[in-house]
Structure 1
Amino acid sequence: MIRVSDIMDKEVINVKNGKRMGFITDIDMDINEGKIVSFTIFGDGGKSFFSRGGEEQVIFWNDILKIGCDTIIVNIGSELNLDEFNI
């Protein structure tokens, strides 16, 4: 079992592009089912709800691939385009 406080300390990383998305600031739950529906994260690595310069983004439970010791790996958005880097 994992505690909400443990999840809040983990950084969210997108496996599609390797981007550090930020830290969880809110959790949405379906109280009738007793399940987590989604997380809200604050982008740009900001760890505080009151930080400026980032934006909030919703990550749905189905988009989570793995919850590790320090990070949560998600699979959202488009893949990294390597042509942009002349590789």
Structure 2
Amino acid sequence: MMRISDIMEKEIINIKNGKKLGFITDIDLDIESGKVSSFLITGTSGSFFYRGTEVDTVFWRDILRIGYDTVLVNIGSSLNFDKDQIDI
């Protein structure tokens, strides 16, 4: 079992381009099913002139693997993965 505080310390990385997206700042739960539907992540912009933060959503279906210190996601990729063969 994993605690919410444990997963919020993990960095989100998109396997499509290897980009570090940031860290989880909030979790959306489906109250009726009791399951996690998505995560809100906050990351810093890579632009030199823009020093704000970006907030984005990662859906549960996009998560490929939750590792020791990172969460691998597949966002914006045409790759097809068999969800039954992915360890989470």
TM-score of the pair, normalised by structure 1: 0.78
State the 1:44 CA deviation. 2.1
Note if contact 1:65-1:73 (Cα within 8 Å) is conserved in structure 2: yes
Report the secondary structure of 2:5's partner residue. helix
- 1:44 maps onto 2:54 in alignment: no
Q: Which runs of 4+ in 1 moved over 3 A?
A: none
Equivalent runs, 1:27-66 vs 2, <5 Å: 27-44=27-44, 53-66=52-65
Q: Does structure 1 residue 6 correspond to structure 2 residue 6? A: yes
Tell me: CA distance 1:78–1:54, structure 2 relative to 1, closer, same or farther (3 Å). farther
Larger proportion of strand: 2
Listed as ranges, the matches of 1:7-26 within 5 Å are 7-26=7-26
What are the Cα deviations for residues 8-67 of structure 1, in whole angstroms up to 9, with x where unaligned? Answer: 00000000000000000000001110100000000228xxxxxx6121000000000000
The answer (yes or no) to whether the contact 1:22–1:41 under 8 Å persists in 2 is yes
| Structure 2: gaps spanning 5 or more residues | 46-50, 79-88
Number of residue pairs the alignment of both structures matches: 73
Aligned to 1:48: none
